[in-house]
Amino acid sequence: MYVIRPAVPADADGITRVIDHRCTHHLVRHDELVRNDGDLIRRLLTHPGESRDRVWVFTDETAARDRLTISDEAPLVACLTLTERLPHWSLWTREECAEPSLSIDSLYTDPAPEQRRTGWMMHCWVVDHVARTYRQAEWVRCVVAHPRVMRYMRDQWGWEYVRSGPGADGSAAHLLQHRPEAKPGLAALITTGQPTSAL
């Protein structure tokens, strides 16, 4: 069983660990530089009123000592930021900008082999969560920097490739979108929770 819940300031160290591991993994295995949003996410956690972005953390309850209850001992294995903003908005058309959507601004997963399906589970949760809680949304959108990641999300997870262009910093930006999609059986695998009382 996995739990996804809103992040709190006490999650900052776990989030930093996941992001650093993921960035190192991409550099060593794929010779790719990955944007490190650790400082930005820490700011979102410590100054929540400054932004409508929401950070979520994903914990592996099967790795906690007490597997019968949701525990603050469960390791944090992924994090993501959902936003109503449209990342790299200048690359989207006027019509696309007018369509109601939520965007994944960042998503990091632990590269450990035992967590190899975490990214897929996060994808399933996001499209289900948006379908259930943001019923006006027509799309879930994201922008990725590397063609390899774009192809993987398109071919393995069913995301629609929109277009590519230069990002705000001049680097490549690949635009993707997916329809919100309720997944009734997902609750057997992932529980959406609230911060534990210990955090």
pLDDT tens column, 118-142: 999 999 999 999 999 999 999 999 9
pLDDT in tens, 88-110: 889 999 999 999 999 998 898 98
Asked if residue 195 belongs to a domain, the reply is no
The answer to whether 150 and 184 have CB atoms below 8 angstroms apart is no
pTM: 0.84
User: Largest Cα–Cα distance in the chain?
Assistant: 51
Beta-ladder partners of 103: 83, 141
Domain count within the chain: 1
**Enclosing domain of residue 153:** 2-185
Q: For residue 19, count other CB atoms closer than 10 A to its CB.
A: 22
Give CA torsion, residues 58, 41, 52, 177, to 10 deg: -60
Asked if residue 190 belongs to a domain, the reply is no
Rounded to an integer, what distance in angstroms lies between the CA atom of residue 91 and that of residue 83? 17
pLDDT at 1 over 90: no
Asked if residue 30 belongs to a domain, the reply is yes
Residue 122 has what DSSP assignment?
Answer: H
pLDDT at 143 over 70: yes
We report the CATH number of the domain holding residue 24 as 3.40.630.30
Asked if residue 191 belongs to a domain, the reply is no
